[in-house]
Structure 1
């Protein structure tokens, strides 16, 4: 008697890189920077968190980057619930899974590009020779391998930001958080940086750009719009506007 073959086991859905469920952030004096925010970011996404000053997007950066914990609600990064982690484990999670790019680069003036990038691995227990080898590979990814021996004062603004991006990528994080990455750059340099972010995303890096610039936001495939601590729209190419209630 023949039996039908057993169905193949279903593959579990991949764990989202970021999950926020009803996340709030309140400060003394009754200031609510986040009001019941729900957001899921899947691996491989490229999105903007966009809104005017005071909208809550900078608080979102800190919460998504585990630099700050929510007052209430749940935040998971790569499946790990942030509130359940000790400070040491939280630091390890951040070092392993999250890369940061800031508007003003934060490069060490007395160190060349290779060592500035290698510093991104300082807390990962990687030996110096390997740190530098991986730093040179990361600089090649941002097309700056020919500038590895140059110090920040010898680099243009766009090159400094690309060094900062290489530093954020050297640990191969799941998530790259870019806070106003073109804010200190001229238009041409800013366009190069945005092209680079698109290229890195095409190679698999999950990238979230925090910005007040609607032109930049509109160039990305997903836009999460903030106002008064709430998500007021979540726009994707396959849906003109996906309203999100917070």
Structure 2
């Protein structure tokens, strides 16, 4: 482990699997007269692998934006890694995202003219990490996702599955508390999708809390906890079943 990583990890306690790292309480989100979320409450503990599943228009994408602090609830409370985010400034929210949240998007959002390592290093752009260290950590993250041999390749030279691995490496390069994966297999063929799901499982086995947002019922059924969302409400949560 690189010295910088040791220093960073020593600066914060590692949560046990029973620690709640994400908590929503009575979260409401409205857009005009449209209620996208209607009183959602949810706890996710450290080390969980959770599917947030629902059809288009169910509210799962709004939940992603709320959990990722990209949007603010109309009412209710959101707590990330012990910090209640409601009163935070935009700068404080940006710092929280940089420290605790990694994003993986369905369509990758990679810069086509940048190498894989440069795309991954962008995940540390606003963290204050020096440029050389950003590159070193990016190369290490690509190694973690099985792309150590692709660090100098650009997105047009990569397959869809490899692009998604680069996106995952970018999301984990800052060692986030929570990894949010938005339809991570939706743009991939079945074989590449299965490989990406396997990688997310490996990351989870290593201690990363992973939330997979999906409309794919088969994918959701393969994960240990399933939270089903419909019409802006949690319809079912296998984590609450006895």
TM exceeding 0.5: yes
Asked if 1:58 corresponds to 2:68, the answer is: no
**Structure 1: runs of 5+ lacking an equivalent:** 1-11
Maintained 8 Å contact 1:15/1:79: no
Structure 1 residue runs of 4 or more that deviate by more than 2 Å after TM superposition? 12-15
Once residues 116 and 17 of structure 1 are traced to their aligned partners in structure 2, the CA distance between those partners, rounded to angstroms, is 27
Deviations 1:19-55 (A, max 9, x none): 0000000111x11010110100110000000000000
Asked if 1:21 corresponds to 2:25, the answer is: yes
Aligned to 2:6: none
Question: What is the aligned-residue RMSD (CA, Å)?
Answer: 1.4
Equivalent position to 1:107, from 107, 110, 125: 110
Deviations 1:196-221 (A, max 9, x none): 00000000000000000001000100
**Structure 2: runs of 5+ lacking an equivalent:** 1-15
Change (3 A) 1:227 1:79: same
Equivalent position to 1:191, from 194, 197, 202: 194
Deviations 1:74-120 (A, max 9, x none): 00011111111111111100111000000000000111001100010
- Aligned residues between the structures: 227
Secondary structure, counterpart of 2:227 in structure 1:
strand
Aligned to 2:140: 137
Equivalent position to 1:93, from 71, 77, 96: 96
User: What TM-score does the superposition give when structure 1 sets the normalisation length?
Assistant: 0.90
Asked if 1:154 corresponds to 2:163, the answer is: no
Larger radius of gyration: 1
Once residues 166 and 37 of structure 2 are traced to their aligned partners in structure 1, the CA distance between those partners, rounded to angstroms, is 32
User: What TM-score does the superposition give when structure 2 sets the normalisation length?
Assistant: 0.91
Once residues 174 and 168 of structure 1 are traced to their aligned partners in structure 2, the CA distance between those partners, rounded to angstroms, is 11
Maintained 8 Å contact 2:161/2:188: yes
Secondary structure, counterpart of 2:114 in structure 1:
coil
